[in-house]
Homo-oligomer: A and B are copies of this chain.
Amino acid sequence: MAHQEIVLAHGSGGTMSRQLVEEIIVREFANPHLEVLHDGATFSVNGTRLAFSTDSYVINPIFFPGGDIGSLAVHGTVNDLAMCGAKPLYLSVGFILEEGLPQADFRRIVRSMRDAAAAAGVALVTGDTKVVDRGKVDKIFISTSGIGAMREGVEIDPRRARPGDRIIVSGTIADHGIAILSVREGLEFETVIASDSAALNGLVDAIFSATRDVRVLRDPTRGGLASALCEIAGSSGQGIQLEETSIPVREDVQAACEMLGLDPLHVANEGKLVAFVPEADAPAVLEAMRAHPLGRDASIIGEVTAEHPGMVFMQTRVGGSRIVDMLAGEQLPRIC
């Protein structure tokens, strides 16, 4: 590996994250569950199929428009389980607190987790709290893990993408990243841009009510929609063709991205998903998603192709075609 030290880009969700995971973690741990490079693992215990997922949250700032590190930590892990095709049931939480953190802030975060868990229909059942001396951690980091029950007969796997599958995104992209960046950098826009942080398990229920044959689900967080789609193209060995005009982006988010020189395809989301479904099921899935509050702006943004295997291309607004790459380097450290 070129870098002999860990660098911020190793946490970006882009190419360097993938390198680190593949070259150190997957290689050393080497087991069939990890090789899927999915958001979570699935396995059976005494005949019961389960999904299991974990995430650590290091977002800065800890309070932001649309949420805080607590609600984010619940939503993120609920979503990882939902993206496995599971029904999220139980969460654990590990707090790492900095000496000197105001107890009022901690209480506010705990309440926010409680409310987010209640809204998502999951129970926070076990936890751990560590305190670290001042200056050795930044305010509060949270790790959440979750257990979900797998749906019968459902198999979500990036390797299942097939030519002709339609790719549906559940709503506007890049809201979370721009919301965080606005607060962090003190940027002022005409409107307050709020994070889209939300639990997607209800929306996934709606998708499964329309079809059982969902091929791939993914929530495009760190690294954005582009990185998620590039990973799926890579895992499946299929091509992906996108239509830029079909990808929903809020006007103010688009304007902020242009001002900041960011590609909204690379900016993080925390309450959006992409679903790959067979062409025949796409209209019903789209309708079911649009009927759900978190899927009102759902849109078919492209399809899986046999051409250009492993790569993502996009028909641009102005009529050209361009390659969509994974995020390289680090765009927004500590976005989640």
Contact = CB atoms under 8 A, between A and B. Distances in A.
A191 interface: no
A128 B52 contact: no
B50 A131 contact: no
A135 B52 CA distance: 31
A30 B114 CA distance: 9
Interface in A1-57: 1, 3-12, 17, 20-21, 24-25, 28-31, 33-34, 38, 40-41, 43, 45-48, 50, 52-57
A133 B100 contact: no
A208 to B, nearest CB: 17
B127 A54 contact: yes
A110 interface: yes
A24 B110 contact: yes
Nearest to A146: B145
Contacts of A283: none
Interface stretch (A88-96, A175-183, A242-250, A293-301): A88-96
A31 to B, nearest CB: 6
B90 A143 contact: no
Interface stretch (A101-109, A154-162, A264-272, A302-310): A101-109
Given A92-B145, A97-B11, A24 B103 contact: yes
A43 B29 CA distance: 28
Nearest to A50: B45
Contacts of A50: 45, 50, 147
A4 B92 CA distance: 26
Interface string A201-223: 00000000000000000000000
B129 A97 contact: no
A98 B130 contact: no
B92 A130 contact: no
A99 interface: yes
Given A24-B110, A28-B110, A54-B94, A132 B334 contact: yes
Contacts of A33: 123, 125-126
A90 B43 CA distance: 9
A149 interface: yes
A55 B129 CA distance: 8
A52 B90 contact: yes
A54 B129 contact: no
A58 interface: yes
Given A6-B106, A31-B125, A46 B48 contact: yes
Interface of A: 1, 3-12, 17, 20-21, 24-25, 28-31, 33-34, 38, 40-41, 43, 45-48, 50, 52-58, 60, 89-90, 92-104, 106-107, 110-111, 113-114, 117, 123-133, 135-138, 141, 143, 145, 147, 149, 333-334, 336
The 7 closest A-B pairs by CB, nearest first: A11-B131, A145-B145, A143-B143, A41-B125, A54-B92, A56-B94, A33-B125
